[in-house]
Amino acid sequence: MTVQLQQVGVQYWFRVLLTALFCISSVWFGIHQSYGWLGVSLCLLVLSILWQIRLYRLHTKQVLFMIDALENNDNTFHFTEENGTPESKEINRALNRVGHILYSVKAETAQQEKYYELILDFVSTGLVVLNDNGAVYQKNKEALRILGLNVFTHIRQLSQVDAQLMEKIENCRPGDKLQVIFHNERGTINLSIRVSEINVRKEHLRILALNDINTELDEKEIDSWIRLTRVLTHEIMNSVTPITSLCDTLLSISANKDEEINHGLQTISTTGKGLLAFVESYRQFTRIPTPEPSLFYVKAFIERMVELACHQHPCEHIRFHTEITPADLIVYADENLISQVVINLLKNAIQAIGNQPDGRIELKASCNDMEEIWIEIKNNGPEIPAEIAEHIFIPFFTTKEGGSGIGLSISRQIMRLSGGSLTLLREKETTFILKFK
């Protein structure tokens, strides 16, 4: 390679010296008024200059052609290395090598970019990179999923999601840690945002790490309720059981003696036993068995749940509509435990509709792009008020007369133990979503 470059350099300097020689000779012949030789010298000088210009244009054209080919991802270009002067051959060989190296570097860079994009798309954290103008420099699939957007090119598109979210992200600074709550078709999103910065090609960029922490918050809340329930039930059972036992003993001793005392003891015993039964129902919340998952068809499962709900609760005035896509949709979960969840939701839907003449309950199941299976249960009964919707999954919270307030709590705990989730959507019609990952 070095020898070849030296040869090209020698040829180049030979042409330069030859042109300079013709120029000097023309001046010398002009001074000595040798007009015949002056004409010959000038002709040779012009030819030498034209030769230099031709070679310059040829090489420039080749370089431009190579650059255009690289810009158009055309790696088929090739300059002939067989014809032409030795200098042209060497230059063509050099251009071919340079073109091959540049194309290899460009191809490798593109491959690395795809590789990094694939890695980003597999990350469970949403990532968004913004420039100072609010344009989206990069984002991954998880960010689009969390934000509920199909296309995200500028920060102002977040106004479609939530105005407060857009404002907070627009004003965030590197090092900030934010928490934003907003609602979309997937329910309530509790979003944690961490901000950092980087400079790329003299451009300042902000990197946003987005995490939906609903699951973590729900798990902590449920764990807290479970611990509290265990403590309360233990203390109440230990305190009330001896009282009811003692009352029963006193009743047997004082039988047929004092009617007023017997009546009081009977009241204490009945109340105590009722309290024990009440506490025992809450112990179900802390005694959900470990799921034993298996594969089962959603269509057959849903049809069986509808039939069972209709048998348990009078609902002749309610129309049921089921839609399973695809028809052979399969889910991997504990069928017995999930049936408790669905039956409870159907019972609540039937009770919510009540005597409404045009009652309708819809059950839909599908698989989304994230390969998550959704079962949607919707009814057209009265809408759940916002102030109540915030508390429906809290254990012991109920608006029903005589209700225990643990049905939805147990249902959500079952879904959590099954690796899924149970959420209420903020829509005009009450809609619960069972999501299996």
One domain, residues 173 and 227: no
What's the total number of domains in the chain? 4
Residue 58 in domain: yes
Distance of alpha carbon 143 from alpha carbon 126, whole angstroms: 4
Residue pair 296/335 in contact by the 8 Å Cβ criterion: yes
- Flag whether 115 is in a domain: no
Name the residue range of residue 245's domain.
217-286
248-to-251, 269, 275, 335, 346 alpha-carbon distances in Å = 5, 7, 15, 43, 41
Q: What is the pTM of this model?
A: 0.55
Whether the Cβ atoms of residue 336 and residue 394 lie closer than 8 Å to each other: no
In a domain, 105, yes or no: no
Q: Please tell me whether residues 46 and 90 are part of one structural domain.
A: yes
Cis, bond preceding 395 (omega within 30 deg of 0): no
CB 363 within 8 A of CB 329: no
Same domain, 345 and 376: yes
* Domain assignment present for 114: no
Q: What is the pLDDT of residue 403?
A: 61
Helix (H) or strand (E) holding 189: strand 187-200
Same domain, 324 and 423: yes
Boundary residue ending a domain (286, 307, 342): 286
The DSSP annotation for 269-292 comes to: HHHHHHHHHHHHHHHGGG-PPPP-
pLDDT in tens, the chain (437 residues): 454 545 555 555 666 677 777 677 777 767 766 767 767 777 777 777 777 777 777 667 777 777 777 677 666 667 677 776 666 677 777 777 777 777 788 778 778 878 777 777 777 788 888 988 889 888 888 888 888 888 889 988 888 888 888 888 888 888 888 888 887 666 677 788 888 888 887 888 898 888 886 666 566 666 666 666 666 666 666 667 777 777 777 667 765 566 766 777 677 777 777 666 666 666 665 677 788 999 999 999 999 999 988 888 877 888 999 999 999 999 999 999 999 999 999 999 998 888 888 889 999 999 987 788 999 999 988 888 877 887 787 776 677 765 666 788 888 888 988 888 898 887 778 899 999 98
- Where helices occur in 132-213 by DSSP H, the ranges are 141-147, 163-171
Within a domain: 54: yes
- Say what the pLDDT of residue 70 is: 67
H-helix or E-strand containing 136?
strand 136-139
Query: Same structural domain for residues 45 and 76?
Result: yes
At residue 364, the pLDDT reads 94
pLDDT of residue 298: 95
For the chain, how far is it from start to end, CA to CA, in angstroms?
60
Quick one: pLDDT at residue 31? 74
Say how far apart CA 424 and CA 349 lie, in whole Å. Answer: 13
Examine the domain organization and report whether 281 and 343 are in the same domain.
Answer: no
Q: Rounded distance, CA 336 to CA 290, Å?
A: 11
In a domain, 81, yes or no: yes
> What is the token pair recorded at 110?
């593109």
In a domain, residue 142? The reply is: yes
Domain final position from 185, 212, 239: 212
Which of these three, 239, 254, 286, is where a domain ends?
A: 286
Does residue 332 share a domain with residue 373?
yes
Same domain, 162 and 232: no
Domain membership flag for residue 106 = no
Q: What's the CATH number where 138 sits? A: 3.30.450.20
Same domain, 403 and 362: yes
Domain with 307 in it: what CATH number?
3.30.565.10
The answer on 299 and 420 residing in a single domain is yes
299, 418: one domain: yes
Q: Are residues 187 and 158 in the same domain?
A: yes
Residue ranges of E strands in 308-372: 318-324, 330-333, 359-367
